[in-house]
Amino acid sequence: MNDSYPALTAAMVRTGVLGFGGGPSTVPLFRHEAVTRYQWMTNEEFAEVLAIANALPGPIATKLAAYMGYRLRGTAGAALGVIAHILPTCAAMVILYSFISFFQSSPVVSGMIAAAVPVVAVMLGQMAYEFGEKAAKGLGLYAALAWGIVALLLLAVIQVHPAAVIVLFLLYGSVHHKVMDKWRARKRPAEGGSDS
């Protein structure tokens, strides 16, 4: 596991430079760096961090950058993570601002942006599928589908704030976990008694 300052800096620069379309589009990049490339955490840990980060105010990308840095190198790592994530993009914005009128009318730039949108959609879709697969293993397929439909209705139809939905599901998850632990604890002695 490479948790050095250069590795942290490189990972955060990549997420900042390659993220396209705002905070949510950077989430698969953070996941790739933290789970796949450097193995700083498991997929399950990343899902938990993402859920908690979504419930807190502020941009998701900077919260993830700060958490990754803090997890690896404490307060200094958190500061480095945020700076490495946002500084290249800020510098590029300042440099490219003078060319804004050209970019607005350029068909090449418009084509590049249009081509990047499906890539971001596929990355988010792949991550959602993998999280759904984990939910199906933990809750069972039908329960995971039911809760997915409930989340969709709350977010898209009723338009409950995402933070409230996340807090609701975190509470449900903690209660579900405790209930299942108690049920398993009761089941074990019963199974042991039937064997004897």
* pLDDT score, position 23: 73
Final residue in a domain of this structure, among 139, 171, 187 = 139
Pair 129, 67 in one domain: yes
Higher pLDDT, 112 or 43: 43
- What is the number of structural domains in the chain? 2
Q: Per-residue confidence at 137, pLDDT binned at 50, 70, 90? A: confident
Residues 19-36 pLDDT 10s = 776 677 788 999 999 999
Q: Per-residue confidence at 191, pLDDT binned at 50, 70, 90? A: low
- Which residue range forms the structural domain that includes residue 33? 1-139
| Rounded CA separation 170/177 (Å) | 10
pTM confidence score: 0.60
* pLDDT score, position 187: 72
Residues 6+ apart with CB under 8 A from 184: none
What is the four-CA torsion angle of 107, 110, 111, 112, rounded to 10 degrees? Answer: 130
The residue-averaged pLDDT of 142-163 equals 88
Pair 79, 134 in one domain: yes
Pair 134, 177 in one domain: no
**Is residue 39's pLDDT more than 50?**
yes
CA 160 to chain centre: 20
Pair 1, 87 in one domain: yes
